[in-house]
């Protein structure tokens, strides 16, 4: 389990360069959002100022909650563009971002600016799309994050470790919302079948 690095906030209050980026990636049903919520909730209990964002495109369940599959949820702000996060993050100490794979490329510089300002940035997102290709800005986000956690699902076919989101329908469109019935987690071998 991920344990936060111990970084004191210092005396002078100058936080420049004291922030960092954590990234949680994996397939669908791997518990990415639950892990994001777990980390965020602990920061809230510690009375840290927290803001959470998600792309507007992700409207599966709820417009303003980050909702995981097991229904634990937390308040979030939907934004159109990655740059909006810079305007809305304000004086928060911790910034959470869910469904990061749907953001534009700009998200990479946005999270780095936030971390450079001294904020802790926690990102969750799908690392691969349904065809097994890297998803949107995720590779670059993984490259610039200090800490990367890859979480796994369980293969719905064989019970092995699943890293792929297998699409059960024939649709070829990359972004398809509404899920459980349309995807299942699969391991490499069962994904290739």
Q: Which residues bind Zn ion (CB under 5 A)?
A: 155, 157-158, 160, 187, 190
Which residue number, 40 or 162, has a Cβ lying nearer to Zn ion? 162
Which residue number, 50 or 187, has a Cβ lying nearer to Zn ion? 187
* Sign, CA torsion 148/142/97/94: positive
Output the smallest distance, CB 152 to Zn ion, in A. 12
Residue 105 known to bind ligand: no
Output the smallest distance, CB 164 to Zn ion, in A. 9
**Contacts (Cβ under 8 Å, ≥6 apart) of 74:** 37, 40, 41, 52, 65, 66, 96
CB 127 within 8 A of CB 137: no
Output the smallest distance, CB 27 to Zn ion, in A. 12
Residue 168 known to bind ligand: no
3-state secondary structure of 91: coil
CB 140 within 8 A of CB 177: no
Output the smallest distance, CB 154 to Zn ion, in A. 9
Which residue number, 72 or 157, has a Cβ lying nearer to Zn ion? 157
99 is catalytic: yes
CB 31 within 8 A of CB 154: no
Catalytic residue, chosen from 22, 35, 51, 99, is 99
> Which strands sit side by side in the sheet containing 77-79, from one edge to the other?
77-79, 50-55, 94-97, 120-126, 20-26, 147-151
Which residue number, 135 or 191, has a Cβ lying nearer to Zn ion? 191
Residue 176 known to bind ligand: yes
Residue 100 known to bind ligand: yes
d(C-alpha 122, C-alpha 90), whole Å:
16
The catalytic residues are 99
Residue ranges for the known binding site for Zn(2+) are 155, 158, 187, 190
């Amino acid at each position: 389990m991920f344990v936060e690095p111990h970084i004191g906030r210092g005396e002078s209050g100058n936080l420049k360069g004291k922030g960092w980026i954590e990234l949680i990636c994996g397939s669908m049903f791997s518990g990415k959002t639950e892990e994001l919520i777990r980390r965020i909730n602990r920061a809230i209990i510690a009375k840290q100022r927290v803001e959470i964002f998600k792309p507007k495109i992700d409207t599966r369940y709820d417009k303003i909650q980050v909702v995981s599959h097991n229904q634990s949820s937390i308040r979030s702000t939907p934004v159109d563009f990655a740059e909006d996060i810079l305007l809305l993050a304000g004086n928060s100490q911790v910034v959470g971002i869910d469904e990061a794979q749907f953001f534009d490329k700009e998200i990479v510089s946005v999270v780095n600016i936030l971390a450079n300002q001294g904020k802790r940035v926690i990102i969750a997102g799908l690392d691969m799309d349904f065809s097994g290709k890297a998803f949107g800005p995720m590779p670059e986000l993984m490259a610039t994050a200090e800490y990367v956690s890859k979480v796994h699902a369980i293969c719905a076919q064989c019970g092995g470790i699943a890293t792929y989101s297998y699409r059960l329908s024939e649709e070829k469109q990359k972004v398809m919302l509404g899920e459980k019935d349309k995807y299942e987690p699969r391991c490499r071998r069962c994904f290739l079948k």
